[in-house]
Structure 1
Amino acid sequence: MNRTTTTQALKAELAWFTKANYFALVLIFFLAGFFVFEDRGHHRNLYYLLSFLPIAYLVITKRIPGAFNHKLPWVIVACFLGFTAASALWSSVSLADDAYDMIRYFLLVMSFLLLIVTVICDSHWTVERILLYSVLLVAAIAFATLLIHYQNNPFPYSRVPALSRHGEVQTLGANMYGVFATASLVLLLQPSTRRSLAPAYLTALAVSASILLAFLVLAQTRGAILALAVTLTTLLALHRSWKTLVCIALALVLVTVSVELWGSIRGFLERGAGARPAIWADAWRQVLEAPWFGQGRTAEFELDTGSRIYGHPHNVVLYLLLQTGFVGLSLWLICTTYFLLAAYRIGARSRNWLLLSLMVFGLIAMLFTSRDFLRSPNTTWLLYWLPVGLIIGAQINRAMTARANRRVGALQNTGE
């Protein structure tokens, strides 16, 4: 092979590695990377290097065509994030220490949404394909981690005493098992997915779903398990799969009875249950001290339950009320309602309820989580901003397709 032929072959290979394909791979490894690096240190720095800086460059040089064609969702998100960032002005913590962080958090969330929109609107990567490869990669990493740590830490992030007696390996929170388990189950239940995927992929997806569900159950976080149950019930009701719902209900009854015979279901339900009402009561008391605008984005909280001090109310609604008051909560509710309705409309049109399922799971899980979805790249980002980004991408992609069809129709009419 001469030099010219080699150069042409290399160019042909590199032609696939376009902007959108690059970001698709970055997004998939970013989602799966939470299992390895969680949301600190290397994972955050890799996001800055591989995603934030390239996105910032493309925005500055105006090389993301069509991303802002549908402006309403961007305006809604920007209003909510902008008010949240501005709330640092009336925070008791020094503004000089946190102004940079507020700007950075705003830009990071927007860049994450832009990354998703770029992948969906500027490539052949569909939402289903992105999540499929993410699920397969996450399940593979999860299973490998289980095998690697089995000798000394039999199960990563498990609260089951028999499995975590040698210590915990906190590689990933239960909510993240839930996000990927939800995605895998929805993909398996979607008729379009079963028709389009090869049998080998369907088998791999089913195995991945089983692994992620096992991790979710053994992590024993009730909020994530409840969120998954509500999501699956909603999904099956939308599909009108009543027989499947009855079968699942019977299976859950059998599992519950079996676990109760082992004497552990009560401990699972009672663990930490007494702390939540006390946390929420003290959080509400502090909300009333600054009800309209909250205590500010950078305020630090001490929620006293009598036996322990907590720094987070373990509820997204109370968290937003504490920081941004009823004004900030109202903006978040407007934002959330808009994207829930958009996800429902997309599902009703295409009979594909993946986006709505992810949104429902994230919202239910956020009612019990102690993580912040408005800071640097973290696992709670994926509870809220992942479905939001996918919904924006689907909206813009549909608008661009409709515009292209109108243009083609106009040209055909002109030709006639």
Structure 2
Amino acid sequence: MLYQKNWARAWLGLGLVWFLAAIALAPSNKIYQQGLVLFLWLPTLLLAWSARAVLVQAWKRQPALWLSVLLLFAWSGLSLTWSPTEDLGREIKRLIYILVFLLAFPLLAQLGLARIRQLMLIGSALLAVAALVSIINFYGLKGQHLLERLEGIGEISHPILGAYVIGSAVLFLLYLPPRQRGMQLLWLAALVCLGAFATLSQSRGAILALVVTVVIAPLWFRDRHSRVFSILAVLATGLAFYLAYDLIAARGSSYRPEIFYAVFHMIAAHPWAGLGLGADYDVIAAGMQFDHSHNMFTHVALEIGLPGMLLWVMVWLFTLGEIVRARGTLFGKLLLGFWVYSTMAMQFDAASLTGTPRAEWFISWLPVGLAMMLPWGRAENGACGKISGST
């Protein structure tokens, strides 16, 4: 089969690494998007026919998850009939992009989840390099004061959304420590760079999501390493409040309660249909204007109504269901932490579910896509158990 060829697998693997790392390292957003087309979308479409049996298996193994995704897309497409957006073709194209992105993951699963973890480590390590370059560039070359909020390179320049991307890399690295002493030093250095970026971004939502995830991770990892990381996270948080409480509290609640209250009334004005996919809106709260709702779920409700939000909740909960089923595997445990982190991150600043690939995809479509690989991970784990049991 064509999709089983080494060159095909390498092509798809490069696409995953590109998605993870090039968001920061690509010279421009246009090149990042073009790279995704070349390294992920194109091979997925070219290999889909030869891998049709895999895609059929994906549907049969996770019918509820795939059906909820398709229903969400169908409702989103239907909302275009009342959307004020002038470019309907662009919105339809974006939905197709997301679908092809998700279709890539069952194909990627054929590499084996051990290889997928390696690719995620590579992508996270490259993001650590981007974090270090960002810190040197912003505070060194640009001469910004250390108390200024860090703006990263590439598409992690937004302090909040960039911190969400970097926080994802922390979780991918943290629970996959290498065994070789030299590699352990590089692993630790990478975590320091990523942690420094998250801290200097002063993104309280991202840091809170990351700290809470690490603190409760021993509930499902149940090992000494996760307990050590949990204790360190608590100590680091306590130290941060002791040393920099005024800085942490300076921005108050960042008008999040006022924004939520205003958005609640906006949703009430169009509860069933929403404004329509791709509709622009402004939120007026506390006498100021905000260009989005600062919450993924309320954003979806504003755009495509409460039915659309319910469908997105279904997608998200079915994703959790698949992860919980695989909680006995290392990959399942990693994804459970990632799901908790992403769920919390969505509450504070995320307002793009169907836009082109961007930072928000790290806490929306990436967890869904990774969960779509889990049936093959459970099969691998079962096969390993049978082999070990027979020896």
Between the aligned partners of 2:75 and 2:234, the Cα distance in structure 1 is 43
Match of 1:257 in 2: 242
Between the aligned partners of 1:203 and 1:39, the Cα distance in structure 2 is 31
- Unaligned 5+ segments in structure 2 are 157-161
Contact 1:35 1:141 (8 Å CA) reproduced: yes
Match of 1:221 in 2: 203
The alpha-carbon deviation at position 216 of structure 1 amounts to 0.3
Task: Indicate how the Cα distance of structure 1 residues 275 and 395 shifts in structure 2: closer, same or farther if over 3 A, else same.
Answer: same
What do the CA deviations read for 1:28-59 (whole angstroms, capped 9, x no partner)? 12210011248832211221233222322222
Contact 2:105 2:369 (8 Å CA) reproduced: yes
Between the aligned partners of 1:398 and 1:257, the Cα distance in structure 2 is 44
Match of 2:85 in 1: 93
The alpha-carbon deviation at position 307 of structure 1 amounts to 3.1
Task: Indicate how the Cα distance of structure 1 residues 90 and 35 shifts in structure 2: closer, same or farther if over 3 A, else same.
Answer: same
Contact 1:38 1:378 (8 Å CA) reproduced: no
Between the aligned partners of 1:344 and 1:203, the Cα distance in structure 2 is 32
Between the aligned partners of 2:377 and 2:142, the Cα distance in structure 1 is 45
Match of 2:272 in 1: 292
The alpha-carbon deviation at position 351 of structure 1 amounts to 8.3
* Structure 1 counterpart SS, 2:326: helix
1:387 aligns with one of 349, 363, 367? 367
Contact 1:359 1:384 (8 Å CA) reproduced: no
What do the CA deviations read for 1:333-390 (whole angstroms, capped 9, x no partner)? 1111111121122123558510111111111111111441321111111112112111
The letter of the residue matching 2:239 is L
The letter of the residue matching 1:287 is I
Match of 2:318 in 1: 338
The alpha-carbon deviation at position 277 of structure 1 amounts to 1.8
Task: Indicate how the Cα distance of structure 1 residues 403 and 201 shifts in structure 2: closer, same or farther if over 3 A, else same.
Answer: closer
The letter of the residue matching 2:321 is L
Match of 1:202 in 2: 184
* Structure 1 counterpart SS, 2:122: helix
Contact 1:120 1:393 (8 Å CA) reproduced: yes
Contact 2:79 2:304 (8 Å CA) reproduced: yes
Task: Indicate how the Cα distance of structure 1 residues 347 and 123 shifts in structure 2: closer, same or farther if over 3 A, else same.
Answer: closer
* Structure 1 counterpart SS, 2:141: coil
What do the CA deviations read for 1:278-313 (whole angstroms, capped 9, x no partner)? 221111111001112212112221211243211200
Between the aligned partners of 1:42 and 1:243, the Cα distance in structure 2 is 41
* Structure showing greater Rg: 1
What do the CA deviations read for 1:245-303 (whole angstroms, capped 9, x no partner)? 445423422332122xxxxx233224162522222111111100111221211222121
Between the aligned partners of 1:243 and 1:216, the Cα distance in structure 2 is 21
Match of 1:302 in 2: 282
Between the aligned partners of 1:266 and 1:345, the Cα distance in structure 2 is 43
What do the CA deviations read for 1:78-133 (whole angstroms, capped 9, x no partner)? 22222123212122334xx22x1222112211222222322222457533212111
Contact 1:179 1:358 (8 Å CA) reproduced: yes
Contact 1:217 1:225 (8 Å CA) reproduced: yes
2:116 aligns with one of 127, 130, 136? 127
* Structure 2 counterpart SS, 1:313: coil
* Structure 1 counterpart SS, 2:349: coil
Between the aligned partners of 2:270 and 2:376, the Cα distance in structure 1 is 38
Contact 1:135 1:205 (8 Å CA) reproduced: no
Contact 1:153 1:163 (8 Å CA) reproduced: no
Match of 1:83 in 2: 75
Between the aligned partners of 1:234 and 1:404, the Cα distance in structure 2 is 29
Between the aligned partners of 2:35 and 2:331, the Cα distance in structure 1 is 36
Task: Indicate how the Cα distance of structure 1 residues 246 and 206 shifts in structure 2: closer, same or farther if over 3 A, else same.
Answer: closer
Percent identity over paired residues: 23
The letter of the residue matching 2:192 is S
Match of 2:248 in 1: 268
What do the CA deviations read for 1:227-251 (whole angstroms, capped 9, x no partner)? 1012112212323469634454234
Task: Indicate how the Cα distance of structure 1 residues 295 and 371 shifts in structure 2: closer, same or farther if over 3 A, else same.
Answer: closer
The answer to whether the aligner puts 1:348 opposite 2:328 as a matched pair is yes
The alpha-carbon deviation at position 69 of structure 1 amounts to 0.5
**TM-score of the superposition, structure 2-length normalised?**
0.85
Contact 1:154 1:163 (8 Å CA) reproduced: no
Between the aligned partners of 1:70 and 1:126, the Cα distance in structure 2 is 19
Task: Indicate how the Cα distance of structure 1 residues 298 and 351 shifts in structure 2: closer, same or farther if over 3 A, else same.
Answer: closer
The letter of the residue matching 1:358 is F
The answer to whether the aligner puts 1:376 opposite 2:361 as a matched pair is no
CA RMSD of aligned residues (A): 3.0
The letter of the residue matching 2:273 is F
Between the aligned partners of 1:352 and 1:343, the Cα distance in structure 2 is 5
Between the aligned partners of 2:377 and 2:332, the Cα distance in structure 1 is 16
1:144 aligns with one of 133, 139, 142? 133
Between the aligned partners of 2:273 and 2:187, the Cα distance in structure 1 is 46
The answer to whether the aligner puts 1:19 opposite 2:8 as a matched pair is yes
Between the aligned partners of 1:150 and 1:208, the Cα distance in structure 2 is 19
Contact 2:84 2:276 (8 Å CA) reproduced: yes
* Structure 2 counterpart SS, 1:309: strand
The letter of the residue matching 1:67 is L
* Structure 2 counterpart SS, 1:288: helix
The alpha-carbon deviation at position 186 of structure 1 amounts to 2.5
The alpha-carbon deviation at position 154 of structure 1 amounts to 4.9
Between the aligned partners of 1:139 and 1:27, the Cα distance in structure 2 is 16
Task: Indicate how the Cα distance of structure 1 residues 334 and 380 shifts in structure 2: closer, same or farther if over 3 A, else same.
Answer: same
